[in-house]
Structure 1
Amino acid sequence: MLSLTTSLVPLVLAGLLGWTGSVKLFSRDTARQAPKTALARMLRSSERAALVLRAVGAGELLLAIGLLALPASPVPGTATAALGAGFLGYLGYGRVLAPESSCGCSANEDTPITWRAFTRAAVVLAGGATAAVANGAWWSTLVEQPGGSLVFLAVAVVVLVALSVDLDRWWLLPLRRLRLRVWGHPFFGSERGDRVPVAASVELLERSLAWQTASPVVRSGLLDHWEEDGWRILLYSGVYGTRENARPVSVVFALDATASRDTPDDPAVRVGFVDADSGEPVAQKMLNAVSSRRALPTVG
């Protein structure tokens, strides 16, 4: 098993470096993604970052060719191990310098540097060291042990795909969508009579006519919430009156705690206004005098 692994590691690394190198060197997205990488922060230039990414991609392609053509030579493996060590150093520095930036490892991802990038770089380092001491050719191992070779290659592909953030759209996102279809969205009640999360009630409230009517008075986000007799009570703060006559008010909404966007009929929403200082209800005619807030201008 050890000889099989050692012999096939160059093939696995060649596939990984051939893919990432091709994307960096030939993809049009390299120039577009370069400004989002930690490398651009290090070099203080998006143009230089794009050039370095393409140069690294060319180097990865050369290493991939060397690993495929000269699997028994220690040179490609040693160079690959050095590349992996360089990746780890770059990722560590980039994580400190620009934690919100992407690594540019495949010039095709927008996510910040995470443990997955570090793990993949460590795999390149360890794989390069293993390839440097390989004795046999990978094609001989494929012929002599086809079953074991296929199992090893399948496992290696699964591991590398799991460590590649830019491939998430091909497997992780579909899995998440499947989970939502099977277990339902967390904002929706799964069964009639189930209480939905508070965030779902807030979303439903903000789509209601009651919210549109009371919004000129509301001046805060959700401050508190509780349930009473099947009603979910949502508390906001607001202001009624103008200038020197302005007074704080508590805006209280009540709606069915089991209502969600899947509820067939529009849920009933009750709204009340209480003077924050005196605790007395505010007359509706006083609230009617509150002017609507002016909408912000839009561009276009």
Structure 2
Amino acid sequence: MHGIAALQPYVIGPFLLWAALMKLLSRRTRAQAGRTALARLVGSARAVPALRLVAVLELAVAAALLLLPPSPLAGLAATGVSAGFLLYLTYSRLAAPASSCGCLGAHARPVNWRGFGRAGLLLAMSVAAIWAGPYPLDAPLAVVGLAEVAALLALSAELDRHWLTPLRRLLVRLRRPLAVVSPKDVPLEVTLRLLYGSPAYCSASARLTSDVQDVWDEDGLRFVVYAAHGRTAVFAVPLSGGDPSAVRVALIEEPALT
């Protein structure tokens, strides 16, 4: 147990440092602060200053954990911050369920079980850090530390685009789940999932003014039609394969009424 406790500051500290730097240096995070649950808690006008204040607190606790000799006070400070995270997530879920937390970068996903899992893990690690003291690092302890880091990363939805999304795309390429079915058997949901992740959809989504209006299959493609501010947006989505960059879009002028 002494080894586990001694390890925690070196896992919690870098994570808090990373969270603080994301809040202070990322323009996207600061720009979207008004759309997080923090804006509901303190008001939109004070969301960015509050975000910076939280970042300064995280920096102070990270410095105490990483730069000062191990002490119960640093563990207690980390415990207080982690408990605050958990309370904030609970508030977000109850008062603003559609808002993101803004904890580790800008993303639009609402708070879910992964956020609570990460906050709970941080709290447990912080409580253990209260009893941290000098202890030699050995191989089993290093494995435990790597497992904790991996768990924190896996529970951070903000980082999915860096590892989970590429992994899913790789699995689709390797498994080719659509290669064994006839094009007419490809569910529309699969087509829309590929469409929504494509650069073509991202470039045209701001112009769309309707839900799906029409769908048909032709020559190995599924055509999906939307209205788009006086135009018709027609997306061509391949029925086989899973590469979003293969999706194409055409904006067609609607004929003038006479």
SS state at 1:206 partner = strand
Is 1:197 aligned to 2:186, yes or no? yes
Which residue in 2 is equivalent to 1:24?
23
Name the structure, 1 or 2, with higher relative contact order (CA <8 Å, separation 6+).
2
1:139-288 to structure 2, matched below 5 A, reads 140-142=135-137, 145=138, 147-185=139-177, 188-190=178-180, 196-199=185-188, 206=216, 208=218, 261-262=239-240
- Paired with 2:128 and 2:255, the residues of 1 have a C-alpha distance of 62
- Paired with 2:116 and 2:96, the residues of 1 have a C-alpha distance of 15
Is 1:90 aligned to 2:88, yes or no? yes
CA shift for structure 1 position 170:
1.6
Q: Deviations over 1:145-204 (max 9, x none)?
A: 2x223212211111111011111112111111012112225xx3425x686135389999
SS state at 2:136 partner = helix
* C-alpha contact 1:30 1:50 (8 A) present in aligned 2: no
SS state at 1:133 partner = coil
Which residue in 2 is equivalent to 1:285?
none
- Paired with 2:187 and 2:37, the residues of 1 have a C-alpha distance of 38
* C-alpha contact 1:7 1:135 (8 A) present in aligned 2: yes
Q: Which runs of 5+ in 2 are unaligned?
A: 193-213, 224-237, 241-252
Q: Which runs of 5+ in 1 are unaligned?
A: 213-259, 263-293
* C-alpha contact 2:118 2:155 (8 A) present in aligned 1: yes
- Paired with 1:173 and 1:26, the residues of 2 have a C-alpha distance of 24
Which residue in 2 is equivalent to 1:39?
38
Going from structure 1 to structure 2, the CA distance change for 1:6 and 1:201 (only over 3 Å counts) comes to closer
SS state at 1:141 partner = coil
- Paired with 1:110 and 1:70, the residues of 2 have a C-alpha distance of 36
* C-alpha contact 1:6 1:130 (8 A) present in aligned 2: yes
Q: 1:102 aligns with which of 100, 105, 113?
A: 100
* C-alpha contact 1:34 1:107 (8 A) present in aligned 2: no
**Number of positions where the alignment pairs a residue of Structure 1 with one of Structure 2:** 208
SS state at 1:14 partner = helix
Which residue in 2 is equivalent to 1:254?
none
Give 1 or 2 for the bigger CA radius of gyration.
1
* C-alpha contact 1:108 1:166 (8 A) present in aligned 2: yes
Going from structure 1 to structure 2, the CA distance change for 1:135 and 1:176 (only over 3 Å counts) comes to same
Going from structure 1 to structure 2, the CA distance change for 1:198 and 1:85 (only over 3 Å counts) comes to closer
- Paired with 2:75 and 2:191, the residues of 1 have a C-alpha distance of 57
Which residue in 2 is equivalent to 1:61?
59
CA shift for structure 1 position 61:
0.8
SS state at 2:106 partner = coil
Going from structure 1 to structure 2, the CA distance change for 1:68 and 1:202 (only over 3 Å counts) comes to closer
Q: Stretches of 4+ moved more than 6 A in 1?
A: 200-204
- Paired with 2:141 and 2:118, the residues of 1 have a C-alpha distance of 21
Match for 2:127: what amino acid?
A
CA shift for structure 1 position 32:
1.2
TM-score scaled by length of structure 2: 0.71
- Paired with 1:49 and 1:25, the residues of 2 have a C-alpha distance of 13
Which residue in 1 is equivalent to 2:73?
75
Match for 2:24: what amino acid?
L
* Structure with the largest fraction of helix: 2
Match for 1:129: what amino acid?
V
- Paired with 1:202 and 1:131, the residues of 2 have a C-alpha distance of 48
Match for 1:196: what amino acid?
D
Which residue in 1 is equivalent to 2:250?
none
CA shift for structure 1 position 67:
0.5
Q: Percent identity?
A: 37
Match for 1:141: what amino acid?
P
CA RMSD of aligned residues (A): 3.1
